[in-house]
Each structure stands twice: as structure tokens, then as C-alpha cells.
Amino acid sequence: TGAISSLQRQMEIQESELRRIRSEKQMLQKQLREREVQLQAMSDKFCSLTEEQKQEEMMVMMEEENHNLQQVVTEQESQLAEQNKLISELQETISQLRAEVVTTRLHLLEQKQAKKEIQRQAEALQHKELQTRVALERISSKFERYRGKIIQATFSVEGSRDPPAELTDDEVLEAMQKIINERMEFQQMLKCKGSK
């Protein structure tokens, strides 16, 4: 937003300068027309003279005035050319500034849309995280119940000692494996004796 405001201020300054130069150009063109009118008036006056002396005096005056006017015209034409060149440069600068304003606005819009998309993704991830935590708690609860049942079944066998207060998973597996091995050995002994 600051960049856009700065570009718009620059554009206003350039447009103000452009208006001032156009005003000066109009003034120069008006002066040029006035000089041309004066030159035409002098020319008309010269044409109306009949006496030889007046004609000679007027010829000198006309030549001087004509020379002066030619210099003024040349200077004003040069100034007008410079003003036209400056106007073209200012118009080009204004066009560039306008293009920069449009580009900056598009960039800001893209950033805003990207921010919205990131917020949407973050909300989706938070929702998914919450669902995952709930599922994890449910699974953990089931696992603890299942583990408790295994411990109960393992150490409720006749002849088993009561388990310590805290059992690791390895200790539970070791106790289960021991019961399985004992049962397999017992079955093997029964087979050897011919019992079903």
C-alpha cells in the first residue's frame, strides 16, 4: 500500500509538471501568433507606402524587425521542441508509473490470496492434528486395556508368581513365551506317554 501511494504521488507530480509545460507551450504559441500578426501588420504598412524615403526607412525597420522576429520564432520553436520532448518523456514516465501501480496491486492481491490459502491449510492441519490425537488416545487406551488383559492372563496361571508393580513389554513377552514353551513341553511329554 505504501508503494502504491508513493507511485501515485509521483504520478500526480508528473501530471502537474505536464500541465505546467502544456500551459507554457500554449503561452509560447500565443506569443508566436502575436509576433506573426505584428510582422503581417508591418508588412501591410510597408506595402501601403508610396514615397521613396518612407519606403527606405520602412525597409530598414522591416528588415530589423523581421530579423528580430525570426530570432524570436527560432527560439520559440526550439523551446516548443524541447517542451514537446519533455511532454513525451513525462507521458512515458506516467505510463510506467501506472503500470507499476497495476503490478504492485496484482502482487498485493496474489500475496493476500496466498495468505488465505496458507491459513486454510493451517486450519486443515490443526483439524487433522486434533483428529490424530483423538485417534492416538483411543488406540493408546485400547492398547493399555489389551496389555492389562495379557498380564492378567499370563500371571493368573497356576504356579505363577505375582508380577511386580511395573512390567516392561519385554518382561510381559518373556512371561508369555515361558508359558507357551512349558505347554509345548507338556504336550510333548503327553505324546511320548501315548496320552491324548
Read off the pLDDT of residues 121-177 as tens digits, 9 standing for 90 and up: 999 999 999 999 999 999 999 988 888 888 777 777 666 666 666 777 787 788 788
**Relative orientation angle of helices 169-192 and 52-155, to the nearest 10 degrees:** 40
What local confidence, expressed as pLDDT, does residue 6 receive?
79
Question: Quick check: 195 pLDDT over 80?
Answer: no
How many helices (H) and strands (E) in the chain? Answer: 3, 0
Tell me the average pLDDT across 93-106: 89
* Amino acid (one-letter) located at 116: K
pTM of the predicted model, to two decimals? Answer: 0.41
How does pLDDT run across 24-80, given as a tens digit for each residue? 888 888 888 888 888 888 777 766 655 665 667 777 888 888 788 888 888 888 888
pLDDT of 167: 73
In contact, 18 and 94? CB cutoff 8 Å: yes
pLDDT at residue 50 in the model: 57
Give residue 139's pLDDT.
93
| pLDDT for the residue numbered 19 | 84
Q: How far apart are CA 191 and CA 196, in angstroms?
A: 7
57, 76 in Cβ contact below 8 A?
Answer: no
**Structural domain spans, the chain:** 1-133
What does DSSP assign to residue 50?
A: -
